[in-house]
Amino acid sequence: MDVDELLLAGPVGEVVLRLDEAVTRRRLRQLVAERHGRLADAGAGAGSSVAVHLPPSLEYIAVVLAVWRAGAQAILIDHRFTDYEVASCLERLRPQLAVEPVGAVARPMRGFHDIGSKVVALPGGVPAAGGHALIQFSSGSTGPSKIIGRGAEDLVAEVERYTRIDGFPSSGRQVVSLASLTNVLGLVGGLLNSLHTGAELVLPRHTGTGGILRCLAAAGSPAVLLAVPSQLELLARVSAPPPTPLFEGAITGGELLRDELWNSFADRYCVRIGTMYGMTEAGVMATDLSGAHRPELTPAPGHEFRVEDGELLLHRPESPYLGATDPGRWADGWLRTRDAGSVDPVTGRVTVLGRLDSQISVNGLKVDLNEVEQLLAHAPGVTEAVVVHDGAIRAYVALDDAGHGTAPVEAWLKERLAPYKRPRAVHALPVLPRTSSGKPVRSASALAEARQGAARSAREGVSRSARQDVDRSARQDVGRSARQDVGRS
């Protein structure tokens, strides 16, 4: 990929990134050149393989661009992965070099980090295979992550595709991005599109609601927010947000968007949420940024869909997966999305109905877990919901008031769902676990572990509270006895 021509060209004084401070093209070019030199000294060149394991930061951006400038393959490893997951990634791909952080990585709620990096040569590393410029890992929301490779031409085509999507931010706009820079929306839709078109990419210092709103309130030009639905849910619950006069749009993807969220966000901020549908394997695939056709989406330029047995298939000339081609996911030029959906024969617009693997059989009767989950998301007090099947239907929810427990939710479902569709159990969690890309985890075992962890924390909290009560009572008894002794004396 010609990084200098595609991403770094333009007026040298133009601000292209804004972290705590503004970063001009001149400064970014200097940083990329310095990191390129460091990589070259370590042996990186055309056809090399380089793992980038850094938190979101100016350093991360400069290193990724420097890897591509060297003609090497960038293997992106999320900084939130555990040591075990990182070791597994390195073992599966065996890169020649790894770029790692210098020093400890700060708190996870940071939108970006102030950090340096070091280049480490890895024993037994092998050159890049397959001509892929970028290696990413799928979200792993229902199982182990898949290794996905994309060539330079494919990446360039997607960057150009964004320029033809009506309403996607470009020059004169700020893009306030909460999307991970290791995942496709944050990397291509956020970083690469902004560099290519002249939009100004803004990364909030803190990704809590306060930090996000401060960024939007401080916008110096019309601002668009890139975020996953769970982040928008939090913003929609802020009762009195500060004025955000230049906040003009929000774009989300990764999961189906609740109607209540779409409406409440518009009421709170006078902003419509635009929807994107995509996959790590193909990038952005369909959009409705204005909300004019909800729930239908317009295929992104250059993409073609068809439906087979209720499943959406996307035309892809080559398999995106490394290693042997999996005919269960890609065959004869078509990628199986594993999403149920339809294509309007007149307009060509796509409607995504949810995961196809949500179809199960209960005593011979078909149940769509998506249907149960979407209904559950409308239940009073439910802010998030995931429904899985592990021999029985189980629901996991986050509640805005956990004090009432799940009994009201279960009673509400009883009035609206046939007995065979109802979850055998509804479990409340403080927060539903999510993947590194912000998608809800749908692994039954992982959700069960989260429930056990929440139960342990609750017991420990009760135990601490009980000990504190005993201590407090003891102190009161001692004080009372002392006062009585004083009185007697």
> DSSP alpha helices (H): ranges in 277-388?
369-376
Which residues lie closer than 8 Å to 297 by C-beta, 6 or more apart? 275, 277, 286, 287, 288, 349, 350, 351, 352
Least confident of 66-75, 144-153, 190-199, 241-250: 144-153
Looking at residue 41, the DSSP 8-state letter turns out to be H
CA atoms within 13 A on the CB side of 122: 22
Portion of the chain with pLDDT greater than 70, in percent = 91
Q: Which of 162, 50, 186, 38 is nearest to 112 (CA)?
A: 186
Q: Residue ranges per domain, the chain? A: 1-129, 171-353, 357-445
Asked if residue 5 has pLDDT above 90, the reply is yes
Q: What is the pLDDT of residue 460?
A: 76
What is the C-alpha to C-alpha distance for residues 320 and 130, in angstroms, rounded to an integer?
Answer: 10
pLDDT at position 325: 59
Residue 485 has pLDDT above 60, yes or no: no
Characterise 131 by phi-psi region: left (phi > 0), alpha (psi -120 to 50), beta (else).
left
Task: List the helix and strand counts (H, then E) for the chain.
Answer: 13, 25
pLDDT grade for 22, boundaries at 50, 70 and 90: very high
- Phi/psi for 60 (5° steps) reads -60, -50
pLDDT of residue 355: 79
With contact defined as beta carbons under 8 Å apart, do 426 and 409 qualify?
yes
The number of CA neighbours under 13 Å toward the Cβ of 39 is: 33
Say if domain 1-129 classifies as CATH 3.40.190.10: no
Q: In this predicted structure, what is the pLDDT of residue 479?
A: 45
Structure tokens at 113: 């980090």
> Strands, DSSP E only, in 369-482?
382-389, 393-399, 425-428
**What is the chain's alpha carbon radius of gyration, rounded to the nearest angstrom?**
25
Maximal C-alpha separation, the chain: 97
More confident of the two residues 201 and 479: 201
How many angstroms separate the CA atoms of 464 and 316, rounded? 56
pLDDT of amino acid 472:
54
pLDDT score for 367 = 83
How much is the pLDDT for 447?
Answer: 93
- Cβ-based burial of 111 (10 A; exposed 0-12, middle 13-18, buried ≥19): buried
- Whether 1-129 shares its CATH topology with 171-353 is answered yes
Q: What is the rounded average pLDDT of the residues 170-197?
A: 95
b/e per residue 155-166 (b: at least 16 CB within 10 A)? bbebbebbeebe
pLDDT at residue 468 greater than cutoff 70: no
390-442 pLDDT, tens per residue? 888 999 999 988 777 899 999 999 998 888 889 999 999 998 998 766 778 88
3-state DSSP percent of the chain in helix, strand and coil, to 5: 35, 25, 40
- The answer to whether domain 171-353 has CATH 3.90.1010.20 is no
Q: Side chain identity at 223, as an amino acid letter? A: A
In the numeric block, which tokens belong to residue 115?
């950090």
pTM: 0.80
List the single range of 78-87, 181-190, 208-217, 307-316 with lowest mean pLDDT. 78-87
Is 50 exceeded by the pLDDT of residue 484? no
Identify the bridge partners of residue 426 per DSSP, sorted by sequence position: 395
Exposure string for 306-316, b = 16+ CB within 10 A, e = fewer: eeeeeebbbeb
The count of C-alpha atoms lying within 13 angstroms of the C-alpha of 236, restricted to the half-sphere facing its C-beta, is 23
Cα separation values, 333 from 314, 315, 336, Å = 8, 6, 10
CATH tag for 357-445 (out of 3.30.300.30, 3.40.50.970, 3.30.2290.10, 3.40.1390.30): 3.30.300.30
pLDDT mean across residues, the chain: 88
128 neighbors 47 (Cβ within 8 angstroms): yes
Give the confidence band of 369 by pLDDT, cuts at 50, 70, 90.
confident
